[in-house]
Amino acid sequence: MRRKASSSVAISLIVVAVVVAISAAYIGHQLSAYSAQVSELYSAVSSLNRTVASQASAMSSIASQQQSIQSQLSSLESSMRFPASAVDATGQQIVVYSEPTRIVSLMPSDTAILFAVGAGPQVVGVDEYSSWPPCLSALEANGTVKDIGSGWYPDPEVILSARPDMVFGVSSVPSNYALKQQFAAYGIPVVLLPDNTIEDVLQSIYTAGRLTGHTGTAQLLAENVTAELSYAEDSTVGLNRTSAALIVWPSPIWVAGNGTWEDQMITAAGGSNVFSNVNGWEPVDPEALLAARPQVIIYTAGHGQLNYSEFISTLYQELGPAADSVPAIASGRVYAVTGEYNDWLTEPGPFVGDGTILLSVLLHPEAYGMNYTSIPHVVSPDTLRLPVPASVPVISTPQCASAVSSP
């Protein structure tokens, strides 16, 4: 039996051992399968990591490719914009090979046009009288834009100390011509923009846009101005023309006559200039004002130098009691235009369209469903809102960017 017991023990031991061995083998196999799985998983994870990394680098390479494409596009665009050439008011062709980054403007109208076509960031110097856009004073305060003094009698050295690569003047000031010839010797183009009529304004917008690399914006702006002019004309079509006098200075009485943009604006706004027999801006006798009998008198009062009541008393001083015989004075249709509205009328800038709409409101309030008694004597952006629909593009005051390139 002992032999039987030991053999059964042996057999059970062997069975156990076999089971254990099989289990161990199985477990081992499973383990190795698991470990193979784990390492597979591990390699899968690491390959996934690699994929992510390569995807990230692929993304970043795509991003940098995108950037280089963008800069290529913009240099392509500017190589399409430049070299640019345009003819200024003197008939001289000006060729610009690269985008001007340091522009000096000698006249308020030039400044206004430059900012309106989007060349504001490129402007580094303006004359002492430039006041539009209103953020200009902030730019001058922080030193981005330099005050280069008078545009009527410009000092070449002061202008050059702003290190310009382009200067904008106007064709009606003789000293600008001398500057043009002087600076030509160094290759700084002095662009003289025409500044007498509304057509001049449109031409200036186009020229300024072309030479500063903002053709598209300029085109849009010119179209907007034309649209505004058309709106003013259409609003007042068929109405009897209101006779008007536009007075730029009260004593002696300086009026805007034939050949000025104010005259054209009055006509486009459905009025007729009583002083169209006068050429340019000229002083007239008080008797001439009495004889002309305008129905509306518009006075461009600057930015608050002379107010409405002073203007009226000056008129009474000059005309005497006969002042009451002037229809405009008798009916109270005498308007002193101040603030930004004043610039709209006094500068041949990108807001001539807005100015024309303003004039049409003053001359024909009935076309807008208003009564002339509801129009205040002091006309400014604070006291009179232009009743124009949203479809009519009124000029938006440009924001001033602070970017400026170093000389």
Partner 1 sequence: MRGGLLHLLLPVFFALSLFLGPYGFINPFSHGLGAFVLELRLLRALAASLVGLALAASGSGLQALLKNPLADPYILGVSSGAALGVLAAIAAGFVWPLAVSLSALLGGLAALALVMAVSSALGLTRTSMVLAGVALSYALSSIDMIIMMDLGPAVQGSLAWMFGTVAYALWGELAYAAPLMAAGAAWIFLRAGHLESLMLGDDVAESMGVRARRLRAEVAVASALSTSAAVAVAGPVGFVGLVAPWIARLGSGGAFRRIYPLSLSLGASLTVAADLASRFVEPGGMAPLTSITALMGAPVLVYLLARWRG
Q: Which positions touch partner 1 (CB under 8 A)?
A: 128, 147-150, 152-158, 160-161, 163, 171-179, 181-182, 185-186, 279-283
Shortest separation between residue 83's beta carbon and partner 1, angstroms = 22
In the block, tokens 């009519």 appear at 392
- At residue 193, what is the residue type? L
For 90, counting Cβ atoms within 10 Å of its Cβ (0-12 exposed, 13-18 middle, 19+ buried), the class is middle
Count how many residues are written for the chain: 407
Shorter beta-carbon distance to partner 1: residue 128 or 199: 128
Shorter beta-carbon distance to partner 1: residue 135 or 160: 160
Shorter beta-carbon distance to partner 1: residue 96 or 232: 96
For 208, counting Cβ atoms within 10 Å of its Cβ (0-12 exposed, 13-18 middle, 19+ buried), the class is buried
Shortest separation between residue 316's beta carbon and partner 1, angstroms = 25
In the block, tokens 């640019």 appear at 84
Shortest separation between residue 337's beta carbon and partner 1, angstroms = 19
User: In terms of Cα–Cα distance, which of 95, 117, 367, 104 is closest to 231?
Assistant: 367
User: In terms of Cα–Cα distance, which of 218, 205, 199 is closest to 168?
Assistant: 205
Shortest separation between residue 322's beta carbon and partner 1, angstroms = 25
Shorter beta-carbon distance to partner 1: residue 154 or 339: 154
DSSP 2-70: HHHHHHHHHHHHHHHHHHHHHHHHHHHHHHHHHHHHHHHHHHHHHHHHHHHHHHHHHHHHHHHHHHHHH
Q: Using CA atoms, how far apart are residues 336 and 364, in angstroms rounded to an integer? A: 17
Shorter beta-carbon distance to partner 1: residue 172 or 380: 172
Shortest separation between residue 251's beta carbon and partner 1, angstroms = 16
Cβ neighbours of 308 (radius 10 Å): 18
Shorter beta-carbon distance to partner 1: residue 171 or 267: 171
Shorter beta-carbon distance to partner 1: residue 113 or 126: 126
Say if residues 68 and 131 touch (Cβ distance below 8 Å).
no
Q: What is the DSSP letter of 322?
A: G
